[in-house]
Structure 1
Amino acid sequence: MRLVVQVDDYDAAVAFFRDALGLTEEAAFSGGGDERVMILEAGRATLEIANTAHHRFIDEVEVGRPVAPRFRIAFEVDDTAAGTTALVDAGAEQVAAPTETPWRSLNSRLDAPGDLHITLFQELDAQPPHSMPKAAPQ
């Protein structure tokens, strides 16, 4: 899967995603009229399809209130706290500080270049990546 993001400030976006977040540059191309594109390696991709109730639940767990647009990008990192600090220093706006989730990951939320809403997450336990505790009966 390739996600294509149009940005107004190309240099700031490259500095953020390549230099601060640490994504590896695979290729870069330029053309006439200041046309530029860079392809960054972001690891294995998955498409997570969530209904509105789950979308609200994740916002509540990670932020404490509804904030995310219809989509957000999540990056797994080794150290959520350090990654959050580095991205804020690189120009991101912190939406929520690192917060431990019920499924034992440490997640933070940020607004990034390109009007992207992102999550940084760090797995705290060596559990299967797709396990989530079942909701309590209501």
Structure 2
Amino acid sequence: MKVCRRETFNAAHRLFVEGWTDEKNRSVFGKCSNPNYHGHNYILETWVEGAIDPLTGYVFDLGELKEIIRREVSHRFDHRNLNLDCPEFEGKNPTAENIAVVIWNLLRKSLPEHLKLSVRLSETENNWVEYDGH
């Protein structure tokens, strides 16, 4: 059985490779390489999978999952500049792919080991990434 908690956060970032010229960064990342950054209203779906507990009827308490997401993700990234404010992205280009991996790693450490975890992150209404640890 899989259960999901949906949360949102807002953050700014700039996609660029240090050492590339501005022209090269613009040719690869387009307007996402704006030197003054740009922002997104991210939608995060956190999916946990496991057996249904016969006593509670839960796979995992979604209230507890909500608090884990808020502690590990929302409080850390909401209304932040991912490039400048978040050490998790030091040396990493904060693409949706890398953001999803960082979030998965943050959440994984706070969940019981027997649960499978996957995260789905929407950067725009047309662009989604999904990561399950592989």
Instruction: Give yes or no for TM over 0.5.
Output: no
TM range (shorter): under 0.3
TM-score of the pair, normalised by structure 1? 0.24
* Structure of higher RCO (CA pairs closer than 8 Å, 6+ residues apart): 2
So what's the TM-score if we normalise by structure 2? Answer: 0.24
